[in-house]
Amino acid sequence: MNPGGLPLRRGLISIKDLTKEQIEAVLSESAKMLNACQCGADVNYLDNKIMATLFFEPSTRTRLSFESAMQRLGGGVIGFADPSSSSSMKGESLADTVRIVSSYSDIIVLRHPMEGAASEASASSLVPVINAGDGTGEHPTQALLDLFTIKMEKGRLGKLKVAVVGDLKNGRTVHSLAYALALFGNQILFIAPKKLQVPDEVLSGLSRRYSGMVEKSESLESALDADVIYMTRMQKERFASPDEYGLFANYYSINRKFLSRANDEVILMHPLPRVGEISPEVDGMKNSVYFKQAAYGVPVRMAILNMIIGQQSGIV
């Protein structure tokens, strides 16, 4: 029996696919994976399994952490990081690409610029599909590693004030994280310029599904009493023109002076890459956990892969 009860047929398309109990199971398995790796334990649970990574958009952390995770589990990796090297450049549809690649692999990890691409891919795939980011839609595995970071650093997942800052309109990491934070009963403060605030459909989805407190602000000052500050970059590639991007490029920035005024126990997170919204001068401060957050991507994705395609946990 597959451990953890993740949705096996589709893989993982949206954080909304998971119940609170399933998320807790992923985080528990992630902690075991982290401990196993630190102890040098044998974790070859996916020996002879193959993961295909189909990345139609650039990625460093997500793609490499997935590949590291699969290799640490004893599996193999195929795929591409540049769509120009694939048959999509010849006009092949996403559905056809996925159908073919799924016959070569046991699981597909897909990043694509089109919102809804992962769901479309899962309908054509012979194997589970993991959404590694679909346009401005969602990024569920990022949300899971973000939750894991919060739990590791704060000791709990609920009753926290979390300030989410930046381009919340286009930030798919934020859209997934918001649902997960609300599910665990946190207070969420969305800080963004009016034109880049979190989409109405995300807010309405939160109000329908959860009862947690949600607020909006334009001022970074309102994050000073937060337990968690989650910074995001202004997503240059999503703006209509360089001039429009220029209006918001340096809208928010956290430096040592700001962080010294914040809640002493606050943790500062970022899905990375950063492009100026966090000064390097705060990298060494105790509150800054974004590099640790990125590192947690490996054990969390090890847990996800094992729970979806592994035959047994092996570390329970």
C-alpha neighbours within 13 Å on the C-beta side of residue 261? 9
Residue 257 annotated among the catalytic residues of the structure = no
111 catalytic residue (yes or no) = yes
Whether 75 contacts 46, CB under 8 Å: yes
Spatial distance between the Cα atoms of 236 and 109, rounded to a whole number of angstroms: 24
Q: Give me the catalytic one of 111, 112, 161, 175.
A: 111
Q: Are 5 and 311 in contact (CB under 8 A)?
A: no
Q: Please identify which of the residues 72, 139, 154, 175 carries the catalytic annotation.
A: 139
**CA 71 remoteness from chain centre:** 20
Among 9, 90, 194, 208, which one carries the catalytic annotation? 90
| Beta sheet of 76-80, edge-to-edge order | 11-12, 129-134, 107-112, 50-55, 76-80
Selecting among 16, 61, 238, 274, the annotated active-site residue is: 61
State the Cα–Cα distance between residues 21 and 87, nearest whole angstrom.
40
How far out from the chain centre does Cα 305 lie? 14
Q: Residue 161 catalytic?
A: no
CB-based contact 180:147 (threshold 8 Å): yes
If we measure between CA atoms, which residue out of 99, 244, 225, 102 comes closest to residue 169? 244
* Phi, psi (degrees; rounded to nearest 5) at 146: -65, -45
Nearest to 252 by CA among 162, 168, 161: 168
Residue 55 φ/ψ region, left for φ over 0, alpha for ψ in the -120 to 50 degree band, beta for the rest:
beta
Which member of 62, 136, 173, 232 is catalytic? Answer: 62
Active site residue 61: yes
Task: Reply yes or no on whether 256 is catalytic.
Answer: no
- Residues annotated catalytic, as ranges: 61-62, 90, 111, 139
